[in-house]
Amino acid sequence: SSFQVSSKMGDSTPVEAGTPADPNAVVFLAHGLGGNKTDWGVWVRTLETRFPSWSIVPLESIEGGSKFGGKGVDALGDLAADEMITRIRAAAAEATGRVAIHCVGHSMG
């Protein structure tokens, strides 16, 4: 079976299910308010099994500040950006081609 991968520009490319469209992909997972990286446990295991060449990264830097009365959205954004940039640079240093970046969030993410 296959599915379509579409861009905002309207292009679409058929991709076989289970085939990584981006072999050098980094997938960031942002949890919601009051959550933590373990909220993504099932998804991490599923994506790592289905796409073993991808780097699956549940964000850790925003855990402490994402509680009620925690840090503001701007501060959380800065923390997440710093963590993501560090991971992207590491992936780019090891990659043989381009590195695709995917961001997935739920609730506040």
Read off the DSSP letter of residue 39.
G
Rounded Cα–Cα distance for residues 74 and 56 (Å): 24
Is pTM beyond 0.75 here?
no
- pLDDT tens string for the chain (109 positions)? 344 444 444 555 554 544 556 678 899 998 877 778 888 899 999 999 988 889 999 998 887 766 666 777 788 889 899 999 999 999 989 888 888 899 998 875 4
The pLDDT score that the predictor gives to residue 5 is 43
The pLDDT score that the predictor gives to residue 29 is 93
- β-pairing, 25-30 vs 55-58, is parallel
Residue tagged 């292009």 (tokens): 11
Q: What angle do CA 95, 98, 102 make, to 5 degrees?
A: 100
The pLDDT score that the predictor gives to residue 105 is 87
The pLDDT score that the predictor gives to residue 69 is 65
